[in-house]
Copies of this chain bind each other. A is one copy, B any other.
Amino acid sequence: MTNLTLDLETVNLTDEQYYQLCIKNKNLRFERNANGDLIIMSPTGDETSNRNGRLTQQLFNWSDTNELGIVFDSSGGFKLPNGAERSPDASWIPLEKWQKIPLEERERFSNICPDFVVELMSPSDSLKATQEKMQEYLDNGAKLGWLINRKKRRVEIYRQGKEVEVLNNPSTLSGEDVLLGFVLKLAKIW
């Protein structure tokens, strides 16, 4: 199944209703765009899930050495300033920002855009839709974003205030000034 988008513009699903929908239907993945439309996504498939685990694993390993922030896997959900609810495949929030989020919000979907986001495209994902999502993260405050296109072995790097950079078949990616000292090894992710 490809994504199914339901126009909820006049339905006005509350945040509580959206949260209940998500936790009651864990076999599906949900997002909401800035118009409030509901996007229903099938699970990614096992291979993409494995690669995503590898990616999150490296990010966790790096984070454990410095404790500069908090890492999230693909089940984290964030309500962006534009109202969209998004779940990046991996993401990271600096510790001081995370600590400002009220405890009860942390257990649900926090009102924050992560500083760092990754979208790891599964074979059925649309490149255009994923690019728009990356741009949305930047517009909502993300500092660094990686769009990893496994099928084409290509990575698009999104940086605040800069043109998108495209890397063909890189072996590593640098966390730059956002994830200090982090280097993602891509060998087991392609």
Query: In the complex, are the beta carbons of A10 and B20 less than 8 A apart?
Result: yes
Query: Which residues of B sit under 8 angstroms from A101, Cβ to Cβ?
Result: none
Q: Which of B1, B4, B10, B17 contacts A11 (CB 8 A)?
A: B17
Query: Which residues of B sit under 8 angstroms from A172, Cβ to Cβ?
Result: none
Query: In the complex, are the beta carbons of A12 and B17 less than 8 A apart?
Result: yes
Q: How many residues of A contact B (CB 8 A)?
A: 17
Query: Which residues of B sit under 8 angstroms from A1, Cβ to Cβ?
Result: 1, 4
Q: Say yes or no: is A8 at the interface (Cβ < 8 Å to chain B).
A: yes
Q: Say yes or no: is A152 at the interface (Cβ < 8 Å to chain B).
A: no
- Chain A 23-51, CB-CB to B under 8 Å as 1, else 0, gives 01100100000000000100000000000
Q: Which of B4, B7, B17, B40 contacts A13 (CB 8 A)?
A: B17
Query: Which residues of B sit under 8 angstroms from A4, Cβ to Cβ?
Result: 1, 4, 40
Q: Which of B6, B9, B12, B24 contacts A9 (CB 8 A)?
A: B24
Query: In the complex, are the beta carbons of B6 and A21 less than 8 A apart?
Result: yes
Considering the chains assembled together, what is the distance between the CA atoms of A6 and B41 in angstroms?
12
Q: Which of B10, B17, B25 contacts A7 (CB 8 A)?
A: B25
Looking at the assembled complex, report how far the CB atom of A107 sits from the nearest CB atom of chain B, in whole angstroms: 16
Considering the chains assembled together, what is the distance between the CA atoms of A88 and B10 in angstroms?
25
Query: Which residues of B sit under 8 angstroms from A21, Cβ to Cβ?
Result: 6, 8, 11
Considering the chains assembled together, what is the distance between the CA atoms of A24 and B68 in angstroms?
45
Query: Which residues of B sit under 8 angstroms from A7, Cβ to Cβ?
Result: 24-25
Considering the chains assembled together, what is the distance between the CA atoms of A4 and B30 in angstroms?
13
Looking at the assembled complex, report how far the CB atom of A66 sits from the nearest CB atom of chain B, in whole angstroms: 39
Considering the chains assembled together, what is the distance between the CA atoms of A94 and B7 in angstroms?
35
A-B contact pairs, 14 of them (CB 8 A): A1-B1, A1-B4, A4-B4, A6-B28, A7-B25, A8-B24, A10-B20, A10-B24, A11-B13, A11-B17, A11-B21, A11-B24, A12-B20, A13-B13
